[in-house]
Amino acid sequence: MTSPGDRQKALQILDEGIADGARARAVADLHGVGLTTLQRWRRQFAGNALHQAKGLRTRDSPASEQVGRRRQAGAGV
């Protein structure tokens, strides 16, 4: 079993690769982590600022609020 600290560090490394334009599955495969595992870790650490910056929904924010924010952000472009 991987410790929570190790999972957070791995998730940070994986997210950096994804932020640089790589596909999530490719980055996960490269690091020997399954895509489902990556998604589960994201849910476990949903409060991470990087995930919030990407506009991913957290448990504190209903989906309808996220859609509204995305629409407002898109209107300003």
**According to the model, what pLDDT value does residue 39 have?**
85
pLDDT in tens, 48-67: 555 445 555 545 555 566 66
Q: Are 63 and 57 in contact (CB under 8 A)?
A: yes
For the whole model, what pTM was predicted? 0.49
- Positive/negative CA dihedral, 35, 38, 42, 44: positive
How many domains in the chain?
Answer: 1
Which residue range forms the structural domain that includes residue 16? 4-75
pLDDT at 5: 84
Q: What is the pLDDT of residue 46?
A: 76
pLDDT digits (tens, 9 = 90+) for 1-60: 778 888 888 888 888 888 999 898 888 898 888 989 888 888 887 765 554 455 555 455
